[in-house]
Amino acid sequence: MKIFVTSTNTDIGKTYVTKNLFKIFESRGYKTCIFKPFQTEEIRNGVYPDLEVYKKECYLDYNLTSLFKFKEPVSPHLGFKMECKNFDRQKVFDYIYELEKDFDFILIEGAGGLAVPIYESDYKSYMTADLIRDISDIVISVLPSKIGAISDSIVHQFYFEGMNLPPNVLLMNQYTDSYIERDNKKTISKLTNKKVYIFKENGNYYDFSDEFITLLLGGK
């Protein structure tokens, strides 16, 4: 199963959520890998922040978790321009096809938010939403929990539902159960007509709700 992890914006906690999903699936005996097709921001020679988390905490090598890497902390489409690289989406499809032979779950972390452009030609843009449509079975939308969460989440879901994508699950990240966060969660659920799951601040893999994990496991 291919699970795409996206968010309302950058720095919402996709890597944090993804690494813990990896750990809970592994703890239940599923062969799991993480794949971040587009990693930007080289923090020092050959070292990238999210890939380094997966290497140190999940023991997954860069050769497995990455495909396209860029030096600057920019959108992938700008990274391709700045480094004069060409994008071949078939390369992504072929790589995932190979991963499916060896793993029960492939956790795919997107770059930034849902509407981030991946590649831009003279004629059209290939967006994160296009990638999700092409390669994913289910999507986790990571939401903020603090002030601004309602607007960001509603805009995200409106765009998501207009793009003919696979089903998504809403996960409010860094949740502390404050009065504001409880209201944010309730209001987002009401306005999107979707259940909002939570993952608490400084949580561990066993802090995901059983209902949330069962939903992701599907028929497995």
Q: Name the pairing type of β-strands 125-127 and 117-120.
A: antiparallel
Q: Which amino acid is at 47?
A: V
Q: Give DSSP secondary structure letters for the chain.
A: -EEEEEESSTTSSHHHHHHHHHHHHHHTT--EEEEEEEE---SBTTB-HHHHHHHHHH---HHHHEEEE-SSSS-HHHHHHHTT----HHHHHHHHHHHHHH-SEEEEE-SSSTT-EEEE-SS-EEEHHHHHHHH-SEEEEEE--STTHHHHHHHHHHHHHTTT---EEEEEEEE---HHHHHHHHHHHHHHTS-EEEEETT--GGGS-HHHHHHHHTT-
Which entry of 14, 19, 36, 185 is annotated as an active-site residue?
36
Active site residue 36: yes
User: Catalytic residues, which ones?
Assistant: 36
